[in-house]
């Protein structure tokens, strides 16, 4: 019953936080105004800037920030015990993560939907814009290379997830076109699309479903027996290019809304299954055996697991999504701020989405420390239960660290909750596989669109005649520049996927290049991502803090997270560089070079902020140039509309 009490307690805590702390931020601090003209209205281009209902934008925003982050991180972090992981998820998401996402969204809305990196150049100093955008570029390149590999692994290990994920795409496009042209309600066709997905899972061994799944994915649990990992990565990057350049209403919004319904239905099934398992036990392992009692089989605290790094600061780096993640500031300021049609929707979308992700991370923790104990497959194909099932996955850092091990722990643990409802093992595992792959795909294509914005903003700095530069600086010079092609959405997106594809194509050290070994190149830089991702969060908090400081707003609730999120990544990077088994000792000079460069960029930005801080209080940053045909008023101060 303790497992059920934790799940219900977390749900109540998040509801209370949303209706107290979230409302205080929205009303008293950010002063959200239903009459304000938002960027999606002022700059409506029917492609990137599109006024969107908050239900749809919630689906797009949540599925973009979630991905596999709140699954992989917590599924690994429980190696230090379930209590530290749970506490960081609960209080990190409420006091740090949701404030970070909400603040990034509001600041971007008040700056014509610009990314946090671009805003940093006006809020802090001009140099910080380039520093911030450079860090964003590196982090997003790793995301593009890695998340393609995540989806490829899921498809190879759980091929029954392939057809349901593929069928989303044409259905989402049809929904997007009809919704945009005819104004139909998105809910009913999305429910139908969800039903089609579930039907394809139920009948995954039948007809066309089996042919597609078996041909592309091969046999369950066997890698590279269908389409190779690298081939999957290339296909997914090409898909990301198409999704990135299409108008958001064509594919991203309807597909993400379908995925949000999938999330809600899957979460509901998991919670109900958890409740059933807590009351009457999990499904029997064999026909003649009885139900298995649901209990937490992991230790509450485990300070020194074999081979694991120190719990501090690495717990806070390992669990990013689910508690706080710098990647979220890119989604909030990169895509969501361009689609919010009413300022007051920002609390529901920005603060509410992060709390929902925190609840998902809570369920992931419970699936790995309790659900896994209801039955997990051992290395020899047998079934382990109780503490033995946990030990098989988390005996040491090496056994827990593999991508398959982390994803598998969640899929098997959560599938056990579904099996407690009487659902078949095949359907339960396939449903959770679709769950993981679908959300990884939304992060992948959103990251590609965000990378396009970052590349365009970087290129515009050196291309005064570009439209992006004109909007940011008012410079109308039309001199030719060799980087001008990168200010075009197609050029920037192609550049993004080519770089990510090149990184993914590099085999791991010691492996020869080949179709079977390529695709894992993103793992080379993956050790950098945790610290770099959290550094982005700290830098986003720095921008939010300066924005509030210039407006004489209270900053105590953002200043403390700012310091915390700036110190953590630097400390983690320093430990990785200097420990006896660290990057320097092992001669991993590519990680050493990028790690040192990242720390140097962080110190440079902090120094810039330190110098600017005394002069910034109460002094507004330079205004953006007036929009064509306007009288010079900022979009957020223009009235004349109501939500």
- Quote the pTM value: 0.88
CB neighbours (10 Å) of residue 391? 14
What angle, rounded to 10 degrees, do the helices at 252-280 and 162-182 form? 130
- Report the C-alpha gap between 469 and 539 in whole angstroms: 23
What pLDDT, on a 0 to 100 scale, did the predictor assign at position 184? 65
CB 144 within 8 A of CB 497: yes
Of 157, 235, 204, whose CA–CA distance to 406 is shortest? 157
Structure tokens at 616: 């910034």
H helices of 579-633, in order, are: 589-616
Of 371, 200, 408, whose CA–CA distance to 269 is shortest? 371
What pLDDT, on a 0 to 100 scale, did the predictor assign at position 433? 85
Q: Which of 218-227, 412-421, 544-553 has the lowest mean pLDDT?
A: 218-227
* Neighbouring C-alpha atoms within 13 Å toward the C-beta of 449: 29
What pLDDT, on a 0 to 100 scale, did the predictor assign at position 94? 97
Residue 438: pLDDT band by 50, 70, 90 thresholds? Answer: confident
Flag whether pLDDT at 312 surpasses 80.
yes
Q: Is the peptide bond before 313 cis (omega within 30 degrees of 0)?
A: yes
Q: 451 Cβ partners below 8 Å, 6+ apart? A: 137, 140, 141, 144, 492, 493, 496
Structure tokens at 155: 């498809």
Share of the chain above pLDDT 90, in %: 31
Share of the chain above pLDDT 70, in %: 92
Flag whether pLDDT at 556 surpasses 70.
yes
Tokens 């092992």 sit at which residue? 586
Q: Which of 59-63, 241-245, 452-456, 523-527 has the lowest mean pLDDT?
A: 523-527
Q: 292 Cβ partners below 8 Å, 6+ apart? A: 281, 282, 283, 284, 285, 373, 374, 375, 385
- Report the C-alpha gap between 316 and 310 in whole angstroms: 11
Highest averaged pLDDT of the listed ranges 139-153, 273-287, 345-359: 345-359
What pLDDT, on a 0 to 100 scale, did the predictor assign at position 629? 57
Q: Which of 47-51, 306-310, 401-405, 445-449 has the lowest mean pLDDT?
A: 401-405
Which comes out higher in pLDDT, residue 396 or 481? 396
What pLDDT, on a 0 to 100 scale, did the predictor assign at position 343? 94
Flag whether pLDDT at 378 surpasses 80.
no
Structure tokens at 565: 């999120």
CB 101 within 8 A of CB 350: yes
As a whole number, mean pLDDT of residues 557-584 equals 89
Of 93, 52, 96, 84, whose CA–CA distance to 559 is shortest? 96
Tokens 């008293």 sit at which residue? 28
Flag whether pLDDT at 14 surpasses 90.
yes
Flag whether pLDDT at 478 surpasses 50.
no
For residue 634, which phi and psi values (nearest 5 degrees)? -65, 145
Q: Average pLDDT, whole number, for the chain?
A: 85
- Report the C-alpha gap between 447 and 33 in whole angstroms: 29
For residue 396, which phi and psi values (nearest 5 degrees)? -150, 170
pLDDT tens-digit profile of 77-123? 999 999 999 999 999 999 999 999 999 999 999 999 988 888 888 88
Residue 215: pLDDT band by 50, 70, 90 thresholds? Answer: confident
Flag whether pLDDT at 71 surpasses 70.
yes
Residue 464: pLDDT band by 50, 70, 90 thresholds? Answer: low
Flag whether pLDDT at 254 surpasses 80.
yes
Structure tokens at 454: 């970052």
Q: Which of 27-36, 49-58, 125-134 has the lowest mean pLDDT?
A: 125-134
Flag whether pLDDT at 554 surpasses 80.
yes
pLDDT tens-digit profile of 151-207? 888 888 888 888 888 888 888 888 888 777 766 677 788 888 888 888 888 887 777
Tokens 């045909």 sit at which residue? 629
What pLDDT, on a 0 to 100 scale, did the predictor assign at position 238? 92
Flag whether pLDDT at 462 surpasses 60.
yes
Q: Which of 63-67, 457-461, 468-472, 505-509 has the lowest mean pLDDT?
A: 468-472
As a whole number, mean pLDDT of residues 300-327 equals 90
What pLDDT, on a 0 to 100 scale, did the predictor assign at position 550? 94
Of 343, 323, 261, 342, whose CA–CA distance to 101 is shortest? 323
- Report the C-alpha gap between 133 and 454 in whole angstroms: 6
**Domains of the chain in sequence order:** 2-637 (1.20.1740.10)
DSSP three-state, residue 340: strand
Residue 639: pLDDT band by 50, 70, 90 thresholds? Answer: very low
CB 70 within 8 A of CB 360: yes
CB 148 within 8 A of CB 227: no
Q: 357 Cβ partners below 8 Å, 6+ apart? A: 62, 65, 66, 70, 93, 97, 321, 322
Highest averaged pLDDT of the listed ranges 10-14, 63-67, 426-430: 10-14
Residue 636: pLDDT band by 50, 70, 90 thresholds? Answer: very low
CB 438 within 8 A of CB 260: no
Of 325, 418, 425, whose CA–CA distance to 363 is shortest? 418
- Report the C-alpha gap between 201 and 164 in whole angstroms: 7
Q: 147 Cβ partners below 8 Å, 6+ apart? A: 67, 68, 440, 443, 444, 447
Tokens 């959405």 sit at which residue? 489
As a whole number, mean pLDDT of residues 514-519 equals 72
């Amino acid at each position: 019953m303790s497992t059920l009490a934790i799940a219900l307690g977390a749900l109540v805590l998040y509801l209370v936080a949303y209706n107290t702390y979230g409302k205080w931020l929205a009303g008293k601090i950010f002063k959200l105004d239903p009459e304000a003209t938002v960027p999606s209205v002022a700059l409506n281009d029917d492609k990137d800037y599109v006024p969107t209902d908050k239900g749809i934008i919630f689906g797009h925003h949540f599925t973009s920030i979630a991905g596999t982050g709140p699954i992989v991180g917590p599924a690994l972090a429980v190696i230090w015990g379930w209590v530290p992981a749970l506490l960081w998820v609960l209080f990190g998401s409420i006091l740090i993560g949701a404030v970070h996402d909400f603040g990034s969204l509001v600041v971007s809305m008040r700056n014509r939907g610009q990314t946090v990196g671009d805003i940093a150049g006006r809020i802090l100093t001009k140099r910080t814009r380039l520093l911030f955008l450079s860090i964003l570029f590196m982090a997003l390149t790793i995301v593009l290379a890695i998340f393609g590999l995540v989806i490829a692994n899921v498809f190879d290990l759980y091929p029954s997830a392939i057809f349901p994920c593929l069928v989303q795409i044409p259905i989402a496009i049809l929904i997007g076109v009809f919704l945009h042209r005819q104004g139909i309600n998105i809910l009913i066709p999305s429910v139908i699309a969800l039903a089609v997905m579930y039907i394809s899972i139920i009948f995954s061994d039948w007809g066309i479903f089996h042919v597609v799944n078996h041909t592309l994915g091969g046999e369950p649990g066997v890698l590279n027996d269908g389409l190779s990992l690298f081939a999957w990565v290339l296909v997914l990057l090409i898909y990301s290019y198409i999704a990135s350049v299409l108008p958001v209403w064509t594919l991203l919004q309807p597909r993400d809304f379908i995925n949000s319904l999938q999330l809600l239905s899957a979460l509901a099934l998991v919670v109900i299954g958890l409740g059933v398992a807590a009351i009457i036990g999990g499904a029997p392992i064999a026909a003649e055996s009885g139900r298995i009692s649901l209990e937490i089989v992991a230790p509450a605290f485990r300070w020194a697991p074999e081979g694991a790094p120190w719990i501090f600061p690495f717990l806070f780096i390992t669990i990013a999504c689910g508690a706080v993640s710098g990647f979220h500031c890119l989604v909030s300021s990169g895509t969501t701020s361009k689609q919010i049609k009413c300022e007051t929707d920002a609390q529901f979308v920005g603060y509410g989405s992060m709390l929902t992700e925190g609840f998902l991370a809570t369920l992931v923790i419970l699936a790995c420390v309790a659900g896994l104990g209801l039955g997990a497959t051992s290395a020899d194909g047998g079934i382990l239960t109780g503490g033995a099932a946990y030990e098989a996955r988390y005996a040491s850092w090496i056994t827990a660290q593999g991508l398959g091990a982390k994803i598998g722990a969640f899929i098997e643990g959560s599938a056990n909750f579904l099996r407690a409802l009487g659902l078949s093992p095949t359907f339960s595992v396939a449903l959770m596989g679709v769950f993981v792959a679908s959300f990884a795909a939304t992060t992948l294509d959103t990251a590609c669109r965000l990378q396009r914005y970052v590349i365009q903003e970087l290129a515009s700095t050196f291309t005064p005649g570009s439209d992006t530069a004109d909007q940011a600086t008012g410079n109308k010079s039309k001199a030719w520049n060799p980087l001008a092609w990168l200010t075009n959405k197609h050029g920037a997106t192609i550049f993004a996927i080519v770089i990510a594809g090149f990184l993914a194509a590099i085999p791991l050290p010691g492996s020869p290049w080949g179709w079977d070994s390529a695709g894992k190149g993103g793992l080379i830089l993956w050790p950098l991502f945790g610290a770099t991702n959290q550094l982005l969060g700290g830098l986003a908090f720095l921008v939010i803090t300066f924005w509030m400081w210039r407006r004489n707003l209270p900053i105590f609730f953002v200043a403390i997270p700012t310091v915390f999120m700036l110190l953590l990544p630097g400390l983690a990077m320093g430990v990785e560089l200097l420990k006896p088994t660290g990057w320097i000792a092992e001669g991993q000079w590519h990680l050493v070079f990028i790690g040192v460069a990242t720390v140097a960029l962080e110190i440079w930005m902090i120094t810039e902020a330190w110098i600017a801080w005394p002069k910034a209080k109460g002094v507004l940053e330079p205004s953006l140039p007036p929009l064509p045909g306007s009288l010079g008023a900022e979009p957020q101060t223009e009235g004349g509309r109501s939500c």
